[in-house]
Structure 1
Amino acid sequence: MAHPKSRISKQRKRKRRTHLKAPVPQIATCQSTGESHIYHNAYQVDGDLYYRGRILVKAAESEDFE
């Protein structure tokens, strides 16, 4: 069975793990809607789906289904 040759100190363990942190998301403000959103991601405003200031999917109009 595998076992460590020598004990790894807390400092060495923590130094190794400093690179495993989650990055801070980059937030942009849309010029056409003024909404905050994450870069390179689509976002919703009033039911419409936007990407790079353009509408990708328009909100469905309310219709009577019978």
Structure 2
Amino acid sequence: MPVRGPRGNGYGPAPEHGDDLKPQPTWPDDHQSRVDRFVRELHRHDRMRWTLMDWASGLVVAARLGDPPYLA
């Protein structure tokens, strides 16, 4: 798989303002609405289980259900 983005996770570049879920003083004005939309979208995925954690700058722990195990 090609490495894309600075994190090398294949999902593109890291967001300019990080992955914080809790408000940060460096956020642009529209960033809270993007976080709110992300959390709303989590509810739409019925094959996922997730929890929001009030830890550091916010954390989501998620798992997909019913996917076959990844094989090397």
| TM-score, structure 1 normalization | 0.18
Structure with greater proportional strand content? 1
The structure number with the bigger radius of gyration is 1
